[in-house]
Amino acid sequence: MSTPEGPRRVRVTSPRTSAARRPIIPTGTREIDEQTRLGEIYMLSLVQSQLRLTLAVIGVVLLVLGSIPLLFWLVPPVRTLSIFGLPLPWMILGILVYPVVYVAARIYVRNAERIEAEFTEFVGRQ
């Protein structure tokens, strides 16, 4: 007894299945990649935001650290004070300066990352 063979299976494919599919690129990213005028405006806005942040952080650090000599000049007894046997000016310059710079750096990095994340989100939506 032989079993009747059913119809032979045939695979039907599109002639374009082997062609590479184009990835969908957000318009904002494409504008930047193609260096169009709009892409230049996007990048200029990012650079300006980062520059404003940089100048603000540097300004605050200079104001805080620049006020130390002013303190010594305006309040002369501060120059001769001692804490734990060390002169106060040495304590301020040797210890206080580093936390100020560290905090300023942390604030800068956190805000720079926020600016870049907002920029990436904005450009990705375009």
DSSP state at residue 25: -
pLDDT tens for the chain, residues 1 to 126: 566 677 888 877 777 666 667 776 667 888 888 888 988 999 999 999 999 999 999 999 999 999 999 998 999 998 888 888 888 888 888 888 999 999 999 999 999 999 999 999 988 876
CA angle 118–29–117, rounded 5-degree value: 15
Distance (Å, rounded) from C-alpha 44 to C-alpha 101?
Answer: 28
